[in-house]
Structure formats: structure tokens, C-alpha cells
Structure 1
Amino acid sequence: MNLEQMQYVLEVEKTKSITLAASALSVTQSTISQAITRLENELGMPLFSRSRNGAVVLEQAKPILDKMKSIVDMVQTIKEDAQYIGESIRGELRLSAIPGGVPGIIPTIASMKKRYPDLKFELSESAARNIIKDVRNKQVDLGLIALYQDDMEQHLAGLHFVPIDEGVMRACVNLTNRLADQKSISLHELKNETLVLFNDELVDDFIGELSQRVGEVDVLFRTNNSEVVNAALAQLNAVTIGHEYSFTHDRSVLHYDFTTLEIEGIQRVISIGWVMRESKSSNLIIQRFLDRFQSKG
């Protein structure tokens, strides 16, 4: 067992796909597949259920992967400590993130605070275009946003953008919902569902396009509180719409209370990443934060 094998396993867990993991790590699918097989043979147990739809971690393997994550994180921390030993950073970092992005940021803040105790953080949740506005107005230092790729040039002119992921819109339901066993949902099926939505530009754009294609849809309510959306999915058997990144970092989805469905049809690609003013792109605090965020992603 070695560190490289663990990194391969954790990337497949994250992407649920050997193909996507290979692309993210810049290696061949065969390299990852063979490495995982050798590791499974060494452990004497399978780690994933593999099919044409991807690779899903087996329930009995989850404690093993948790330990692997701890080891990989520890090695990364050792490397960072060696690289930045003696370095002292003070100041404040004002962060803002799209709905669903905040949970993925917390571990990085905790790690940074432990390494640099004099650092202070401010964290808020907002819609992407509001975050961009706050970055321009110097009210936020670093913002985690999601934008359609074909809108980026228009909205990010003069700003620095660091991409971290991309994807499309998905539907999300509680595991008790009759749709939970489906892999995907059509636009016409969505039209007949009760929707609860977070106030988000991408969601608004999607619902507008959906209404143009299939007619007016039933939106029960919109909210700025992601916990309210989760409660509605659980108690009202409703459906929500959001981009993949938000669901990937949602605690309820991670703990398997909810599941996501592909939305059938051609969609515009969404880019997720960090936005800042050009003058902030060389800021030491931001550089260290992004380094740690990447290592914990």
C-alpha cells in the first residue's frame, strides 16, 4: 500500500468515476484501475462497486477510505509545514461562497487557523453575482462562485479567476421520494414536480429555460436558506435544482439522506472557482488559503 494508491482511491470516491479521476490526476484509466485492483487484493476486500455508470464506494469500505483521507491529509500538512516553517501570517481574510460551497471551505479555515493562529476569517453565503459585486467593491477578498462558462467573460472582466471544477445542473430529492431510484429525470417530469429553490442566478436561468421548453413549472417557494430547502425535501417530498458542486459538498447528500438525478437534455456547462481582484492574486494569505483548499478538496 502506498500514498499514490490512496490518492487514486480518494479521487475515484470524489468523482465516482475512474475516467474522471484519471483526467483529474493526469494519468491513464488503466493506471488507476490496476492500482485499485492491487490495493483491493492487498487488503483482501473490494473498495468499489464498478459498473458502466461509474464507481461507488462500498459501505464496508468507507471506514478504510476515511483512514486513507487522514493519511493523505497528514502527508500534505507535513509538506506544507516543511515548506512554510517559520512563516508567520497575520491579518483577515473575507470569504464569500455560493450556496452549498460553505461546507467545503470550513476544513480549510480550520487548518489555516491552526497553522496561523493570528489569522482572522469572515465567511458569508451569497449568490454568485452578488459575490462578484462585493469583490469589485472590496467588501470580499476571495469569493467561491459558479457561472455558466459562456457568461464568464462578461461578468469577470478585470478580475482574476481560479477554476476548481465544472459541471451542469442536477435535481435533488430525499431518499424517500419516489424519484430516488431513478438515475435521471426528464424536463417534462420536472414540470410535474413541486419545486423548492434557492435564490440563485443559475437556478433562475435554468427555471426560465425550463418554462420556455415545457410550460410554467410549479415552484412552491424560493429561499436564501439552504437548510430550509433541505427541510422541504425531507418533509414535503419536493424537488430542488442546483449545480453539481453544491450537492457534492452538501452534508445531507454526503450522508446519503438525499440523492441527485441527472437532468436529461443538453445543458450549458458551469464553471466553479475562486474570484478575486487582480491585485489580490499575489496576496500571501490568499495563496496559502488556496493551497490548503486544493489539498483538502
Structure 2
Amino acid sequence: MSLLERVVIEFKKKFPDVKLEIVEKGSQDIIDDVNQDKSDLGLIILFKNRLIERTGLAFERLLPVHMVAGISSASPLALKPAVGPEELRQQTVVLYNDDYVKWYMDDFQSLYGPVDVLFTTNNRDLIFRACMNHGAVTIGLNFSFMNEPAFRKDNIAILDFDLPDHGPVYLGVIQRKEKTHSQVSRRFMEWLKHDLEELGASMQS
């Protein structure tokens, strides 16, 4: 949600009469809402097991993303350049309740064996406290740790995984193919793309 903060505020200043409603849901719920015309557009993660073309929706790639691990900066694991399979299996893991995160962890366990998952939640503060106070590791997409006040570099170390590549994964927007989108909707997309391009550049720097 932090990705949308700036673009929503600035967009509302430019178009004060536009009513915006932002809802955070699982990807399948977002797909269903857009398909049923309950939402104008949706932001989801596209990966190899999610075939958007079967939904009848158009998907536009906005930002390449990848999985990372977050752990307290005081942990010895934080000194490593990357996290390997056995290292992760030795940790207590807390997960954000997200379709792709759950798919990734299920795939990981099918390849490397069981992981001690303490809990799954959509409460970021609870995840942060588990990492800081109890030495837990959380995993998530790299962009999800950016602009989150709790996950500052002096608190949480963000490490890549030393794992085979799962193939390209993208954050993107879905819309109904046959729908004629309003000028305001198109302008919002332009603003969102601009912000994500800036984010992508900062992630690579």
C-alpha cells in the first residue's frame, strides 16, 4: 500500500472531485473484483503459475520484483550476503498473508524440506516485532520492504536468496480488456507508472 501513498495524495490534489477507494486484498479477490467490474483496476503479482490470459483480463507489467529475506540487523545471519536453503530451514519464519508469498514458500518446502512457519498475518507490525524481539525471519517481495517505516536499514537487514531463479516475476496492473476507461482512470495509470519507474530506478541503484 505504501507504493500508492504518494500517487494517491498528489492525484487527489489535482482532481479533488474524484472519489478514490483503495482496498487491500488477495490477488484472486482482486482478479474477481476487476472481472466483476467492482474495481477499475488491480495491482497483483504475476508469476509462472498465474495465467492471467485465462481470466479474460489485460495485464501490464510495471515493475520486475524478486523475493528477499528480512531479519533483525543484530542477527548473525544479517552479516551474510545471501540466505541459502538450509540456512532458511534453520530459522523461525513469519509470513505476510499474500498469494505469491504462500506459493513461494510451498514451492520452497517441496524442493528443500519443511520450514518452521510460526504464523502468517497481514499485520506488518506483528511481523516486525517477531523479527526484532524473537529472531524470526520474514520473506517477501523486495519492493514491499521499501517505504515501510518499521523496516529501516538500521533495524532490519534485507538479504537476497541464494536459490535457483524462479523465472521473471512482475508487479503489474490488471484491467478488463473490453472496458472503455475514463480519462481520469488513464491519468491515474500514468501517474502510477511514473512513480513505479522511479521506484524501480531506486531499487537498482
Q: In the aligned structure 2, how far is the partner of 1:286 from the partner of 1:247?
A: 27
Q: 1:136 aligns with which of 28, 35, 43?
A: 35
1:165-193 per-residue CA deviation (whole Å, 9 max, x = no partner) reads: 11221111122222222220001100010
Is the CA contact (8 Å cut-off) linking 1:171 and 1:241 kept in structure 2?
Answer: yes
- Does 1:207 pair with 2:105? yes
Q: Percent identity?
A: 28
Q: In the aligned structure 2, how far is the partner of 1:230 from the partner of 1:156?
A: 37
Tell me the CA shift for residue 216 of structure 1: 1.3
- Does 1:223 pair with 2:121? yes
Q: Quote the RMSD (CA, aligned, Å).
A: 2.0
2:201 equivalent in structure 1: none
Q: How does 1:54-93 map to 2 (within 5 A)?
A: none
- Does 1:184 pair with 2:60? no
Q: In the aligned structure 2, how far is the partner of 1:273 from the partner of 1:225?
A: 23
Tell me the CA shift for residue 195 of structure 1: 0.3
Structure 1 pair 248–155 and aligned structure 2 pair: CA distance change class (3 A)? farther
Q: How does 1:9-48 map to 2 (within 5 A)?
A: none
1:282 equivalent in structure 2: 181
Tell me the CA shift for residue 153 of structure 1: 3.0
- Does 1:260 pair with 2:158? yes
2:68 alignment partner AA = R
Q: Which TM-score applies when normalising by structure 1?
A: 0.61
Q: In the aligned structure 2, how far is the partner of 1:129 from the partner of 1:184?
A: 31
SS of the residue 1:162 aligns to: strand
Structure 1 pair 186–244 and aligned structure 2 pair: CA distance change class (3 A)? same
- Structure number with the bigger relative contact order (C-alpha 8 A, sep ≥ 6) is 2
1:125 equivalent in structure 2: 24
Q: Which TM-score applies when normalising by structure 2?
A: 0.85
1:181-237 per-residue CA deviation (whole Å, 9 max, x = no partner) reads: 222000110001000011222122222122222221100011122232122222222
Structure 1 pair 282–257 and aligned structure 2 pair: CA distance change class (3 A)? same
2:92 equivalent in structure 1: 194
Tell me the CA shift for residue 117 of structure 1: 0.7
Is the CA contact (8 Å cut-off) linking 1:103 and 1:251 kept in structure 2?
Answer: no
Q: How does 1:126-165 map to 2 (within 5 A)?
A: 126-148=25-47, 150-154=48-52, 157-165=55-63
2:67 equivalent in structure 1: 169
Q: In the aligned structure 2, how far is the partner of 1:154 from the partner of 1:161?
A: 7
Is the CA contact (8 Å cut-off) linking 1:194 and 1:220 kept in structure 2?
Answer: yes
2:23 alignment partner AA = S
Is the CA contact (8 Å cut-off) linking 1:160 and 1:281 kept in structure 2?
Answer: no
SS of the residue 2:49 aligns to: helix
Structure 1 pair 251–293 and aligned structure 2 pair: CA distance change class (3 A)? farther
**Equivalent pairs, count:** 195
Tell me which structure has the larger Cα radius of gyration: 1
Is the CA contact (8 Å cut-off) linking 2:57 and 2:176 kept in structure 1?
Answer: yes
Is the CA contact (8 Å cut-off) linking 1:183 and 1:261 kept in structure 2?
Answer: yes
SS of the residue 2:22 aligns to: strand
Tell me the CA shift for residue 256 of structure 1: 4.5
1:149-175 per-residue CA deviation (whole Å, 9 max, x = no partner) reads: x23435653112221111221111122
Structure 1 pair 167–154 and aligned structure 2 pair: CA distance change class (3 A)? same
Tell me the CA shift for residue 283 of structure 1: 2.4
Tell me the CA shift for residue 270 of structure 1: 1.2
Please list every run of 5 or more consecutive structure 1 residues that lacks an aligned counterpart in the other structure. 1-101
Name the structure with the higher helix share. Answer: 1
1:264 alignment partner AA = D
